[in-house]
Amino acid sequence: SAIPDVPLNDGNTIPQLGFGVYQVEPRDTVAAVRKALEVGYRHVDTAQMYGNEAEVGEAVRTSGLDRSEVFITSKLNNGYHRPEDARRAFESTLTALGSDYVDLFLIHWPLPTRYDGDFVSTWRTLEEFQRDGRARSVGVSNFQVAHLERLATETETVPAVNQIEVHPYFGNEEVRAYGHRHGIPTEAWSPIAQGRVLGDPTIVDIAEQVGRTQAQVVLRWHVQRGDIVFPKSNTPERIEENFRIFDFELDDTAMERITNLDRGGAGRQGPNPDTFD
């Protein structure tokens, strides 16, 4: 059961399942990413903010895989939105990764009130990275509809992805639907709500019905909706478990029951991008 590729609006593709390394300590990152690559993951999601880009790069470079076989995403740290800062920060990402390109580079947060709310000039700077080939694709993270509309009005490039919080307790439907209408695939961060949705009676029930673990059921729900996911784990058994989600299916009833767990804004686990600065 191979991992499907999701087509991006710039002609590139991204593996629908990846491995996330938020809150993976630098000293644990090489082993965790190495394990993920052994299991078969070919997509790693890191960020300048996570402090482990160098270890991700090391794990990929020493994996025996060709650089071209692994899709690497990183993200511009908050505080580097000004074009000259973004250029320097982007170079530090390439240096840390030990690669002359990154597959996907994102604006991590829109920060609508910092730096005069000017994420548009930041976006134009990411367009430069794509034009010069050092970022194969460029996208955004935590962008709300209003932020995406500003990019659509004021710039030429449609983000290749929007990486946002999505899990059964927070469906984030309005932003997902906007992406759907405009050719912007959704990447669902904290897909199992950092473990918080595990133990939910509905998830427990469906997991028993299909004979899978709760984490597998929730990850399967995401991929059947077409979203891209990259669950995080430090535990080798869980890294394997989370990979095995392409050899079973949830029926419409199970899908709907999980979708109905949505608690709206109250289900949000991370900050609200409208106010986070």
**Interface with ligand NAD (CB under 6 A):** 20-22, 45, 108, 141-142, 163, 189-195, 198, 215, 230-233, 238, 241-242, 270
Q: What whole-number distance in Å separates Cα of residue 263 and Cα of residue 260?
A: 8
CB of 163 to ligand NAD, least distance (A): 5
Residue nearest to ligand NAD (CB): 20
- Minimal distance, residue 142 CB to ligand NAD, in Å: 5
Question: Which entry of 50, 80, 169, 178 is annotated as an active-site residue?
Answer: 50
> Phi, psi at residue 133, to the nearest 5°?
85, 0
Give min distance, CB of 257 to ligand NAD, in A.
19
Q: 5-7 and 13-15: which strand pairing?
A: antiparallel
50 is a catalytic site residue? yes
Instruction: Supply the minimum distance, in Å, between the C-beta of residue 207 and ligand NAD.
Output: 11
For the chain, state the CA radius of gyration.
Answer: 18
**Of 131 and 205, CB closest to ligand NAD:** 205
Identity of the amino acid at 144: Q
Half-sphere exposure of 15 toward its Cβ, with a 13 Å CA cutoff? 24
Instruction: Report, in Å, the least distance between residue 61 CB and ligand NAD.
Output: 20
Residue closer to ligand NAD (CB basis): 199 or 253: 199
What values do phi and psi take at 187, rounded to 5?
A: -100, 125
Residue type, 194: Q
**Identity of the residue, 8 or 164, whose beta carbon is nearer to ligand NAD in the bound complex:** 164
Distance separating alpha carbons of residues 62 and 74, to the nearest angstrom: 19
Nearer to ligand NAD, 126 or 215 (CB): 215
Strands 186-189 and 228-229, by their bridges, are: parallel
Pick 83 or 236: Cβ nearer ligand NAD: 236
HSE of 187, CA atoms in CB hemisphere, 13 A: 30
CA angle 96, 127, 11 (to 5 degrees): 95
Active-site positions read: 50
